[in-house]
Amino acid sequence: MLRIHFDEITRTFESILLARGCPAVHAAKVAREVARNSLEGTYTHGVNRFGRLVRNIDQGLIDMAAVPTLGKAFGALENYDGNRGFGITNAWFAMGRAVELAAVYGIGCVAVRNTNHWMRAATYGYEACDLGMAGICFTNTMPNMPTWGAVDAHLGNNPLVMGFPYKNGHILVDMAMSQYSYGALELAMLEGEQMPTVAGFDAEGNLTTDPAAVHATKRVLPMGYWKGAALSFVLDIFAGSLSLGNTTSEIGKLPGGEYGLSQTFIAIDFSKVAPPDRVEEIIRTAVEDLLSSKSDGSSRPIVYAGQRLAAIKSRNEKEGIPVDERVWEDVLSLKSRSFQDFPR
Amino acid sequence: MLRIHFDEITRTFESILLARGCPAVHAAKVAREVARNSLEGTYTHGVNRFGRLVRNIDQGLIDMAAVPTLGKAFGALENYDGNRGFGITNAWFAMGRAVELAAVYGIGCVAVRNTNHWMRAATYGYEACDLGMAGICFTNTMPNMPTWGAVDAHLGNNPLVMGFPYKNGHILVDMAMSQYSYGALELAMLEGEQMPTVAGFDAEGNLTTDPAAVHATKRVLPMGYWKGAALSFVLDIFAGSLSLGNTTSEIGKLPGGEYGLSQTFIAIDFSKVAPPDRVEEIIRTAVEDLLSSKSDGSSRPIVYAGQRLAAIKSRNEKEGIPVDERVWEDVLSLKSRSFQDFPR
C-alpha cells in the first residue's frame, strides 16, 4: 500500500482531467473532491473510483463543461437541469444554492435532474455544515436492489445524508439503502471473509452472510429489510418529482451506464431561530450521553455518526493517503490512454 | 374480536376526554385521529393506545388545553413551544403551519419542543399529502434502544416519515429506527412466535429472532444495524436543535414517563416548480415499474410504501374496526374511573 499526499493526488487528477479538455474550474473542483474522499476515509469513492469517473467521461456520459440551468424557482424552492455535467460540481452547486436560499428564507430546497454520480454523498452534507447550516440530501441511482419480496432489482440504493454542524466534528449520517454496497461484497470476497451481518439472499432464497452468494444472485438486502426498500422508493419519488427528472426505473432504461440521475438538497439555517451557542450545548450534552453508553464487549466502537472522520483525515494528512499500488498505476496510465481505446 | 364502527369509537373517546375537562375542539380532534389510526390499520396507535393516552392525562403529563406558542420565526422556518399539549393537536398544527409556509415560500419547516407523543407518525405526512404537498417529519422519544456496540439504551426509536401525494394512494414511509417495536415483540411473545428476522440481542450477546430474549435484554436491534443507530441520533440532533428542545438523553432524565419531546415538520409545495400532472405521471410510471417486480415466491407482498392503507380503511369502514373485547371494556371503563385512582 502506497501513502500518497493529498496534493499529489489532486494535481495528478487535475492534469488528467485538463488533458481531456475539462474546463479548469471543474478540473480543480472534481480533482479536489475525489481526492478529499480518500483523505477523509471514504476510499470507495476516492482514488479507487477515479478511473471509473474518467471512463464515464471518455464514454461521453459526462459533459465536463456543463453547468446547471434553472428549471423553475419559487421562493425557497428551485429545480435545475444538471445537463449531464459532473455529479460533483452539480451537487456542490445545488447544496450551495440551497444554503443561499436558506440564508434568505431560513430553509432552502434545490432539486436537480439529469445529473451524474456525485461520488461521496456525505460531501454535500458537510458542505452545508461547514457553512453553519444543517443539510439533507439524497440521490437516486440505477436499479441495483430488489424490493422486499422480489428477486429482481427495481430499486436503487439511493443514499440519504443528514448532517448538523458541530464544533468537534459534524454530526452526519450518510447511508445507502442497501445494507452493503457491491464494493463491500467484492472486497470481502477477495479477502475470503463473511459479511458481519446478513447481506442478502442466496440462490435458495435464504438470508446469508456469504458475499459470493449474494453477488451471484444480485439480491442485496435493503437495510432494515422492508424499511430500507420502502425508504428507497420514497426517496426516488421525492428526487424524481421535485426535479421533474428520472426515477430509478427510467434510469434503468437508459443505454450505456448510470447517468441522468435526480437529486434533492435541503439546507436549514437554524441559527435564524436557534442561537448557535445554545444548539452547541444541546449537541454536546447529547453526544456525551451517547458516548457514555456501556460497551457490549465487542469490537464495535461506540461513536456518533461522523465522529471518526477527523482522526482519519488527520492521519492521512500527516502520513499520506493509503492507495493500492495497482490502483495508482491505473490512475497514472490515464494520462496517456483513453477508455475509448478499450472495449467497455 | 369486536367490529366497532369508526363513529362509535370516536364518540366514545370524545365523551371520555370531555368528561375530563378537555376543550371540545381538542377532544374532537384527538378522538378522531386516534380512532382513525385504527381505521387505517395502525392498531398499535389507535384504540389499543387510547387507555395509555388517558393515563398520561390523568398523570398530568398532558395539558389538554395547551396550544403551541411561537418561539422564533424567520421566513419559512419557525419553532414553537408545545407547552405539553396533546401530541396530536400540536403535531397537526405544526405540519399545517409548515404547509402554510410552503404555500408562501415553496418549502416550510416547523420545529416543536416540549410536546407529547403524536401517536401514529404517518398522520402528519398524510396531512401534508392530503393538502397536495410532500411532507417530512420526525420525532424523538425516550431512550429505548442501545446504539450499535452498546448494551444500554441511549437512543430513541425516533420515527421518520416521508410522504409524497399520489392520486391512487399517497407514497409514504413511516419507519421507527428500531427494527421492531416493543409492541411487536410482546405480540409475538403472546402468540409464541419468532420474529421474521433478527430482532435484537439475547443475554449472550447474540442476534436472535426470539422476542422474549430481546424483551429480557432490552437490546432491540436498530433497523439496518449501525445505520439505524446513526440515523436515530442525527434525527434527535435535528429535532432537539431546531426546536431548542430536549434530546433523547434529556427526555430520559425527566421523571414520570415520556413527555417533553422534540419534533420537526417539513412541507414542500412541489406544485410551484413541478406541474402536478407531470409529477403524477412520473410517480405512476415508477409505481408500475416497482409493482412489476418478480416475486421471490414468499408470502411477502410486493407493494409500494403506503399502498395497503386504502384497502384496510375501506374494509374497516364497511365492517367496523377490529377491536379486542378486553381493550374495548377497558376503554369504556375510563368513563367512570381515573388513573389517579390507581398506582402507576
Q: Encode pLDDT of A26-54 as tens digits.
A: 999 999 999 999 999 999 999 999 999 99
- Confidence grade of residue B180 (pLDDT, cut at 50, 70, 90): very high
Q: Which of A248, A272, A296 represents a domain boundary (last residue)?
A: A272
Min Cα–Cα distance to chain A from B76, Å: 5
Q: Encode pLDDT of A271-324 as tens digits.
A: 999 999 999 999 999 999 999 999 999 999 999 999 999 999 999 999 999 999
State what percent of residues in chain A have pLDDT above 70: 99
Length of chain B equals: 344
* In a shared domain, residues B39 and B92: no
What CATH number corresponds to the domain at position B326?
1.10.1530.10
Average pLDDT, integer, range A174-194: 93
Interface contact flag, B226 A72, Cβ < 8 Å: no
What CATH number corresponds to the domain at position A211?
3.30.60.50
- d(Cα A8, Cα A158) in Å, to the nearest integer? 32
Q: Encode pLDDT of B310-332 as tens digits.
A: 999 999 999 999 999 999 999 99
* In a shared domain, residues B128 and B148: yes
Give chain A's end-to-end CA distance (angstroms, integer).
Answer: 28
In a domain, A202, yes or no: yes
> In Å, how far from its chain's centre is CA A245?
19
* In a shared domain, residues B104 and B217: no
Domain that holds residue A215: 179-221
pLDDT reported for residue B183:
85
Average pLDDT, integer, range A224-230: 97
> Mean pLDDT over all residues of chain B?
96
Per-residue b or e along B88-108, where b marks 16 or more CB atoms closer than 10 Å to that residue's CB: bbbbbbbbbbbbbbbbbbbbb
- Confidence grade of residue B340 (pLDDT, cut at 50, 70, 90): low
In a domain, B103, yes or no: yes
- Confidence grade of residue A148 (pLDDT, cut at 50, 70, 90): very high
Average pLDDT, integer, range A84-103: 98
State what percent of residues in chain A have pLDDT above 90: 94
Q: Which of B221, B255, B278 represents a domain boundary (last residue)?
A: B221
Q: Name the catalytic one among A26, A45, A117, A170.
A: A45
Interface contact flag, B238 A134, Cβ < 8 Å: yes
- Confidence grade of residue A340 (pLDDT, cut at 50, 70, 90): low
pLDDT reported for residue B95:
99
pLDDT reported for residue A61:
96
In a domain, A339, yes or no: no
DSSP string, A165-221: --TTS-EEEEE-SBSS-HHHHHHHHHTT---SS--EE-TTS-EE--HHHHHHHT-BP
In a domain, A249, yes or no: yes
Min Cα–Cα distance to chain A from B279, Å: 5
- d(Cα B277, Cα B166) in Å, to the nearest integer? 10
pLDDT reported for residue B344:
42
* In a shared domain, residues B93 and B19: no
In a domain, B258, yes or no: yes
Average pLDDT, integer, range B295-323: 95
ipTM of the complex: 0.97
* In a shared domain, residues B108 and B162: yes
Single out the residue of A156, A200, A146, A238 nearest to residue B302, CA to CA.
A146
Candidate from A224, A240, A297 with C-beta closest to B205 = A297
pLDDT reported for residue A341:
57
pLDDT value at A338 more than 90 = no
Min Cα–Cα distance to chain B from A342, Å: 34
In a domain, B63, yes or no: no
Number of helices followed by number of strands (H, E) in chain B: 12, 13
pLDDT value at A344 more than 60 = no
* In a shared domain, residues A94 and A160: yes
Which chain A positions have a beta carbon within 8 Å of B159's beta carbon? none
Average pLDDT, integer, range A234-257: 97
pLDDT value at B140 more than 80 = yes
* In a shared domain, residues A127 and A234: yes
In a domain, A344, yes or no: no
* In a shared domain, residues B124 and B166: yes
Min Cα–Cα distance to chain A from B122, Å: 13
pLDDT value at B343 more than 60 = no
- d(Cα B218, Cα A1) in Å, to the nearest integer? 43
Does the global pTM surpass 0.95? yes
* In a shared domain, residues A86 and A192: no
* In a shared domain, residues A112 and A239: yes
Candidate from B147, B273, B286 with C-beta closest to A247 = B286
In a domain, A184, yes or no: yes
Beta-strand runs (E) in chain B: 2-4, 69-74, 77-81, 107-115, 134-139, 145-146, 153-155, 160-164, 171-175, 200-201, 207-208, 261-268, 321-323
**Structural domain tally of chain A?**
2
- d(Cα A122, Cα A107) in Å, to the nearest integer? 19
> Mean pLDDT over all residues of chain A?
96
What CATH number corresponds to the domain at position B125?
3.30.1370.60
> Which residue has cell 395502525?
B42
* In a shared domain, residues A138 and A206: no
pLDDT reported for residue A342:
52
Which chain A positions have a beta carbon within 8 Å of B152's beta carbon? 293-294
Interface contact flag, A149 B296, Cβ < 8 Å: yes
Q: Which of B220, B264, B269, B293 to mutate to test the interface with A (most CBs of A within 10 A)?
A: B293
Average pLDDT, integer, range B102-129: 98
* In a shared domain, residues B97 and B207: no
> What's A58-126 look like in SS3?
HCCCCCCCCCCEEEEEECCEEEEECCCCCHHHHHHHHHHHHHHHHHHHCEEEEEEEEECCCCCCHHHHH
Interface contact flag, B76 A73, Cβ < 8 Å: no
Candidate from B73, B173, B292 with C-beta closest to A273 = B73
Candidate from A173, A230, A240 with C-beta closest to B230 = A173
Residues of B labelled catalytic = 45
pLDDT reported for residue A183:
85
By mean pLDDT, which of A24-28, B172-176, B180-184, B275-279 is the weakest?
B180-184
Task: Provide CB contacts within 8 A for A239, sequence distance 6+.
Answer: A111, A138, A139, A140, A158, A245, A247, A262, A263, A264
The grid cell for A280 is 452547541
Q: Encode pLDDT of B221-247 as tens digits.
A: 999 999 999 999 999 999 999 999 999
The answer to whether B120 touches B37, Cβ cutoff 8 Å, is yes
The answer to whether B203 touches B213, Cβ cutoff 8 Å, is yes
pLDDT reported for residue A233:
98
Backbone angles phi, psi at A169, to 5 degrees: 130, 115
